[in-house]
Structure 1
């Protein structure tokens, strides 16, 4: 992508990089309010049928996902104009989603700065190996990687491990401000859990919030996965890496039905978000619709996103994601050619 095209693209997106306080407040109301109502109805349904409770838990999980998008925008300082207000709302929505504000803000900003850069992986992203790296790695590393990329581990165990356990601890070398925010989040979270357990009973709390938490977590991991794992994605070594190409070619346009688009806070327009994180979630679709280049990007649907689960490794020779089976074939063929030469 030329510098001229890059400038044009950024100029087209610039008008949408402004938060609207009225829209932000309304989004808080139409997200947190319904979530609390659904939670209360799910609690009341325990005396009727747990199947009804689970059905309401799915709806509640959707609203938790939408709350996370608000948290996510606050981390980018795009939800409100005022940074302090972003931090306050971000910390509180972080409690609702089990995420410490400062810690995740740091790792996620690193993710944006290094997304699709093969030489700068490891912070704020999912573990992804190239075909050559995988076959050059020790057996124990390959086994660990296969386990990590297993759908059951990634989407069932992963949300519990990351959101409930990993997020409770500071990373090595975290700044004081970041550490204190993690402690504060943990204290408020613990207090909230104890209060709810006292009000409704710990069994009822777990029966209601447990499935909501897990389903929302699985949805979150899934969204993050499909937004960067699709067949013809973009990955380059640092010397050839380009931020704009990484945004528009390495981040997908996840075309979802309108109800799912709403509940996921327009995060399916991930290419727009990576191009300009300052665009609030309620402006992403408009930015996409009013820029022709942004409409000609990798597009995935519900069906094609399900197919992406089989992708495991990045094949640098073919510039695409491949399955373990395909990687074995291509790597074996490459070795045979090398031996002949």
Structure 2
């Protein structure tokens, strides 16, 4: 069996009460990004048959323990360790590492064929649910006293997120058997969000093709160390963006990625232009009508605040689905599609009303196994995945500890540790992160 020398771990023990000793405080890292050993703390697991190297002189004895042990499986292979890690991060379960010989096709082939079937009645039912809940939200905004407006905005912002999910299904060709209908419905569903349908579709397809791949994933990626160090102003902006403003980061993503024709391939540009024309037409007609009928205050009440509510969910869903200290981003040479889509995607349960209004989009693992699964079949697909691949899944129920972990830890990319927090790299600038650590509760 292969063995390794644990380095730089040095253990010091007293061997005789009359001898003088020299003791050195040490710092070591074990299982990068998961386990830090500092000062005089000791890792107790996994060390067997340890031998001592004793260096003597006349005045002192230093007992240095060099540890040679058999190579152990990754810490994530320990059920007890994964359980402790899950509790620390706010997860219900942290899955085992998926074997590298498992392919994405293996997982897809394990799913029942019926979960890929498009049902027009169920698809249009989701449209009815979103239209009704959105209309109800607007009615509540119109009638609610000022102190109940936040509740009305929360409902309406969540309801309009359902429109996004419908457009999302259309973009993946999982809404209707008629592809022209899908493009029309997708475009219309995105208009209240002033999202251009085709630009988003093109970028989102690349997210699915290269999930959690460095320089490839278009949904988001960690901050680069070089970028973080490039200028003090940018550093402070990144700290705020990936810290307290992170639940609204999708606004910047929407603005930067979807309106610049240079960011698209030549064969995509014509369709992008059509989507942009639709969005600008909505702005030119819809916004003036809202302002004409309700004034600037009405525009804020009826459109802006629900729109910010939608972006809260858009940002939150996105970061929860693929972000955790133990989920790596990888170079293309190391990237594995099955590992990224199955083990690199997080299933998160939300309160029932959110799941209904958002059409189960947070049942996200099957969606990444195959985007062709309609949203109304995601739960059946997830049940099958749990039965066949359950021990490899990362699962959570939405909680404050989960959000706190993401917002205060998952910042700068590090190949060995996955992430390094801003407060570790630039403590003098990281007051917003320290503020979040103190403000956000720890309970799951």
| Common fold: TM-score over 0.5 | yes
Runs of 4+ with deviation above 6 angstroms: none
SS of the counterpart of 1:238?
coil
Distance 1:185 1:208, change over 3 A: closer
Residue aligning to 2:398? 302
Residue aligning to 1:287? 381
1:85-137 CA-partner distances (Å, limit 9, x unpaired): 1100000011022210000001111111111112425xx22241356x567x4
CA distance, structure 2, for counterparts of residue 35 and residue 196 of structure 1: 16
Alpha-carbon shift at residue 66 of structure 1 (Å) = 1.5
SS of the counterpart of 1:233?
coil
Length, aligned pairs only: 318
1:26 to 125, 130, 139: 125
Residue aligning to 2:116? 17
Residue 277 (str. 1) matches residue 375 (str. 2): no
2:260 to 156, 164, 170: 170
* Comparing 190-199 and 248-257, the one that deviates more: 190-199
Q: What pairs up with 1:138-287 in 2 under 5 angstroms?
A: 138-140=230-232, 142-152=235-245, 154-156=246-248, 158-163=249-254, 165-166=255-256, 169-174=259-264, 175-287=269-381
Q: TM-score, normalised by structure 1?
A: 0.84
Q: TM-score, normalised by structure 2?
A: 0.66
CA contact (8 A) 2:104 2:369 kept: no
CA contact (8 A) 2:239 2:422 kept: no
Q: Structure 2, unaligned stretches of length 5 or more?
A: 1-98, 428-444
The structure where helix makes up a greater share of residues is 1
Residue aligning to 2:106? 8
The structure where strand makes up a greater share of residues is 2
CA contact (8 A) 2:118 2:177 kept: yes
- Higher Cα Rg: structure 1 or 2? 2
CA contact (8 A) 1:288 1:295 kept: no
Alpha-carbon shift at residue 162 of structure 1 (Å) = 4.7
Residue aligning to 1:334? none
CA distance, structure 2, for counterparts of residue 91 and residue 323 of structure 1: 39
Residue aligning to 2:223? 129
CA contact (8 A) 1:19 1:80 kept: yes
Q: Structure 1, unaligned stretches of length 5 or more?
A: 330-341
CA contact (8 A) 2:126 2:359 kept: no
1:185-237 CA-partner distances (Å, limit 9, x unpaired): 22124312222333333432322322111111112111111111112113222
SS of the counterpart of 2:110?
helix
CA distance, structure 1, for counterparts of residue 308 and residue 130 of structure 2: 19
CA distance, structure 1, for counterparts of residue 263 and residue 303 of structure 2: 33
